């Protein structure tokens, strides 16, 4: 599952590698095409960004929103290169004057006016630590609005804080020392604020690793560490599937209370 830092890394790569391409052809398999996509032909690619787990491509006043979910990938080729995967798996192909951008297996491709897409995302997503509009106080307030929810569940709610996926969720809770099953109302405001701060720090750490082609595994402390010794206390890391979200969860029962 793509998380916020991965989406941002993709957007930076696309901005750099597809820069100034003038679009000559576009193809998509999507039911969320809300304008005539032929309007994109002849326009210059004007950059990309991310909001939460969403990647946004801009063509002047038109935007394409991509959500890769679990299996989606984005590749940039020279214009006449063969695709590395069957064309039948492509959900979006954008051909410029020198390069082509291909999105495989992404479940969400949405095409609409730029302002509409951005406004809609900002109205539905919580604060994003990789966005200039990051608001730490709002993120904390959003958590406090759900006192009866398990903290391990609510952190994946993108309307609360945007961009958190399962890896970051596990890593935040370990670093703050909170058990995923605890309700928000059972956690001190200080620790909830630490969750917000650590998410900001982790997001930037993850992004830096991805931009430098390094694996995030080197800074993981609990995710996928089942039955390994806790790096803090030496206790064995336990694994279970948290309900109702059905996500892999890794906990040190000694450090996370």
pLDDT, tens digit (0-9, with 9 covering 90-100), for 81-122: 988 888 888 999 999 999 999 999 999 999 999 999 999 999
CA gap 85, 68 in Å, rounded: 16
**100/21 same-domain check:** yes
**72/149 same-domain check:** no
**10/115 same-domain check:** yes
**152/194 same-domain check:** yes
- The DSSP-derived string for 145-168 is T-TTSBHHHHTT-TTTSTT--HHH
How many of the other CB atoms lie within 10 Å of CB of 148?
A: 9
* 77 inside domain: yes
CA 247 from chain centre, in angstroms, equals 16
Hey, is 65 helix, strand or coil? strand
Number of domains in the chain: 2
The tokens of 21 are what? Answer: 């391409």
The pLDDT value recorded for residue 144 is: 98
**101/181 same-domain check:** no
DSSP state of 89: G
Identify the helix (H) or strand (E) that includes residue 242.
Answer: strand 238-242
- Maximum alpha-carbon separation in the chain: 60
* 15 inside domain: yes
Q: Give residue 223's pLDDT band: very low, low, confident or very high (50, 70, 90).
A: very high
E-strand stretches of 39-171: 47-51, 54-59, 62-67, 73-78, 90-95, 99-104, 108-113
* 1 has a pLDDT exceeding 80: no
CA gap 34, 111 in Å, rounded: 6
Last-in-domain residue among 61, 92, 124: 124
pLDDT tens digits for range 41-62? 999 999 999 999 999 999 999 9
**106/70 same-domain check:** yes
* 131 inside domain: no
Whether the link from the prior residue into 52 is cis, omega within 30° of 0, is: no
Query: The whole model's pTM is what?
Result: 0.95
* Nearest one of 247, 235, 95 to 168, comparing CA atoms: 247
Q: What CATH number corresponds to the domain at position 68? A: 3.20.190.10
* 256 inside domain: no
**153/109 same-domain check:** no
Hey, is 138 helix, strand or coil? helix
* 174 has a pLDDT exceeding 80: yes
* 130 inside domain: no
* 75 inside domain: yes
Question: Do residues 71 and 105 touch, judged by C-beta distance below 8 A?
Answer: yes
For the segment 157-175, the average pLDDT, to the nearest whole number, is: 98
For the segment 222-248, the average pLDDT, to the nearest whole number, is: 97
Last-in-domain residue among 124, 147, 166: 124
**111/160 same-domain check:** no
Which domain range does residue 186 map to? 136-251
Q: What CATH number corresponds to the domain at position 176? A: 1.10.8.50
**145/112 same-domain check:** no
Last-in-domain residue among 101, 124, 147: 124
Strands 47-51 and 90-95 come out as unpaired
How many of the other CB atoms lie within 10 Å of CB of 209?
A: 17
**12/58 same-domain check:** yes
**145/194 same-domain check:** yes
**71/34 same-domain check:** yes
Question: Do residues 140 and 151 touch, judged by C-beta distance below 8 A?
Answer: no
């Amino acid at each position: 599952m793509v998380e916020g830092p991965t989406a941002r890394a993709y957007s930076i790569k696309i901005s750099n590698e597809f820069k100034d391409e003038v679009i000559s052809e576009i193809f998509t398999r999507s039911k969320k095409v809300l304008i005539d996509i032929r309007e994109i032909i002849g326009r210059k690619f004007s950059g990309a960004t991310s909001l939460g787990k969403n990647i946004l491509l801009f063509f002047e006043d038109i935007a394409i929103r991509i959500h890769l979910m679990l299996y989606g990938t984005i590749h940039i080729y020279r214009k006449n290169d063969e695709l590395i995967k069957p064309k039948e798996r492509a959900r979006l192909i954008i051909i410029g004057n020198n390069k082509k951008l291909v999105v495989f297996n992404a479940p969400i491709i949405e095409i609409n006016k730029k302002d509409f897409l951005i406004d809609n995302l900002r109205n539905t997503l919580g604060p994003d630590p990789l966005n200039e509009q990051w608001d730490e106080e709002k993120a904390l307030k959003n958590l406090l609005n759900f006192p009866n929810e398990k903290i391990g569940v609510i952190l994946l709610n993108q309307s609360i804080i945007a961009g958190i996926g399962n890896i970051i969720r596990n890593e935040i809770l370990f670093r703050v020392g909170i058990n995923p099953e605890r309700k928000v109302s059972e956690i001190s405001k200080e620790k909830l604020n630490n969750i917000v701060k650590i998410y900001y720090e982790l997001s930037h750490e993850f992004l830096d690793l991805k931009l430098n082609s390094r694996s995030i595994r080197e800074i993981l402390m609990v995710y996928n560490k089942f039955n390994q010794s806790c790096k803090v206390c030496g206790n064995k890391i336990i694994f279970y599937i948290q309900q109702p979200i059905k996500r892999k969860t890794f906990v040190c029962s000694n450090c996370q209370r």
